Structure 1
């Protein structure tokens, strides 16, 4: 495994980080707790030291699963990244930006983006309890909340740093202007944003701004929620409640299938999967600090971790980029 420094912090994170959105089950057609626990442990066994989660993932379940999996491990060797700002419990009294309604365990919840100072502190305490830890390595605002001034949110995060409850503060899904505004109020560690072969918009403004200000970039959805693994072009199906049934519709599926067929010979020659090839490519892109890769079972977790060991020649990278240019 490769380890990388996050922005201006002293955090050293694994280049492939375990992403835990799917194991929460919400929007993913449910979860298998035993398999999720095995996936977390397998990832750590293969060198992944960094686990990314959020209260919204399973409405607390993802954080609880991580806590259970690492309970007997040396906490100092594991970095826990979690978030705040997606409120579903009604404690915000309907303040904040309404996002959507979500079904979880046969109940419907209204979800709001909410990042007031009081809510930041409330959610941090709740996460600490679910995670069964006395500190969080990186606490991130999940989505921008237009109803709360950025400096108010950052003030709360600084307070948590000063109290020793978090080691560093980050944001997620911020544009470059929001990111730079936040950086005026706090030593901003990172911005977690979507980035993949199919979505490279952050290369235009966010990555240059992050590099100039030494802010880490945490890339999520590098496999586009499994689409770039190629398995859905080979017969895999989704449960009716899986959000990907609609999510995949935004893409040119025929073009993506052809693209994957063009680059698959590289994977075959190396004896690796398409997923591993795509993850390795992502870790090599300028400005990307770490890459989140979700896994619902230990086989996926091991495969993701081992992608770091893949070696790509300049010629192979050129071929991939040329095919990507045609896809665009």
Structure 2
């Protein structure tokens, strides 16, 4: 495994970081608890020291399972990354920005973006309890909240750093303009954004800004929620309540199929999967600090970690990038 410094902080994260959205259950068709716990343990056993989660994932369930999985382990060797700013329990008292309607057990649950100072403090205490720890390594706003001044959010994070409750502060899904506004109050460690072979828009403005300002980039959805594994084209067994049934429709699936056909022989020659090849390629892109990789079980966690063992030849990278230019 490779470990990388996050922005201008002292934090070092594993290049492959465990992404825990899927083990939360909601929007992913559910997952067995024992498999979820095993996936965290396998990640830690194979050099993945960083775990990214959020209160919204499973409405607290993801954080609780991670807390259970790391109980008794050396906390100093684990980096916990969590978030705030998505509220679903009505505690925002009608404030904030409506985001979307989620569902759980057939019940519709309105979700709001809400990042006031009071809410940040409240959410952090809840996350600390669920995770069974007394500090968070990186606390991030989950989505921008148009109803709360960015300066108020950043001031709250600065206070939490001074109190020692968080080691560093980051954001998710921020534009360059939002990063600039935030930087007037607080030096941010990172921006967590969507990035993949199929979605490279951040290369235009966000990557240059991050490189110039020593801001880490945490890439999520590198596999486009499983589409780039190629399994969707041969094993389309998504459950009815799996959000990916609609998510995949945004892509030109014939072009994606062609890309996977190009990647498959390269992966086969190296004795790895297409998914591992895609993960490794993503970690090598300029400006990308770490890449989030989800896992539902131990074998998937091990495969994700082993992706870092892949080395590309110059010819292979040219072949892959030529195919990407056709998308």
C-alpha distance in 2, partners of 1:9/1:189? 6
Partner of 1:296: 296
- TM-superposed CA distance for 1:107, in Å, is 2.6
Cα deviation, 1:87-137, whole Å, max 9, x if unaligned, reads: 001000121110111111333211000000110111011100100100000
- TM-superposed CA distance for 1:259, in Å, is 1.1
Displaced runs of 4 or more, over 3 A: none
What secondary structure is seen at the aligned counterpart in 2 of 1:193? strand
Partner of 2:49: 49
2:244 pairs with 1:244: yes
Partner of 1:138: 138
What secondary structure is seen at the aligned counterpart in 2 of 1:133? coil
Partner of 1:315: 315
Partner of 1:60: 60
2:80 pairs with 1:69: no
What secondary structure is seen at the aligned counterpart in 2 of 1:218? strand
Structure 1 spans left out of the alignment, 5+ residues:
none
C-alpha distance in 2, partners of 1:228/1:17? 18
Cα RMSD over matched residues?
0.7
2:136 pairs with 1:119: no
C-alpha distance in 2, partners of 1:192/1:264? 29
C-alpha distance in 2, partners of 1:105/1:70? 28
What secondary structure is seen at the aligned counterpart in 1 of 2:184? helix
- TM-superposed CA distance for 1:315, in Å, is 1.0
Partner of 1:221: 221
What secondary structure is seen at the aligned counterpart in 2 of 1:185? coil
Partner of 1:96: 96
Partner of 1:110: 110
What secondary structure is seen at the aligned counterpart in 2 of 1:123? helix
C-alpha distance in 2, partners of 1:210/1:97? 27
- TM-superposed CA distance for 1:236, in Å, is 3.5
C-alpha distance in 1, partners of 2:103/2:16? 30
- TM-superposed CA distance for 1:258, in Å, is 1.2
Q: After TM superposition, list the pairs within 5 Å mapping 1:132-281 onto structure 2.
A: 132-281=132-281
Cα deviation, 1:31-56, whole Å, max 9, x if unaligned, reads: 21110000000011000000000000
C-alpha distance in 1, partners of 2:263/2:92? 48
TM-score by length of 1: 0.99
- TM-superposed CA distance for 1:163, in Å, is 0.6
- TM-superposed CA distance for 1:153, in Å, is 0.2
What secondary structure is seen at the aligned counterpart in 1 of 2:111? strand
- TM-superposed CA distance for 1:226, in Å, is 0.4
- TM-superposed CA distance for 1:254, in Å, is 1.2
C-alpha distance in 1, partners of 2:191/2:160? 18
C-alpha distance in 2, partners of 1:76/1:62? 21
- TM-superposed CA distance for 1:183, in Å, is 1.5
Kindly tell me the number of residue pairs found equivalent between the two proteins: 327
C-alpha distance in 1, partners of 2:124/2:180? 23
C-alpha distance in 2, partners of 1:218/1:165? 21
What secondary structure is seen at the aligned counterpart in 2 of 1:170? strand
- TM-superposed CA distance for 1:179, in Å, is 1.1
C-alpha distance in 2, partners of 1:125/1:6? 24
TM-score by length of 2: 0.99
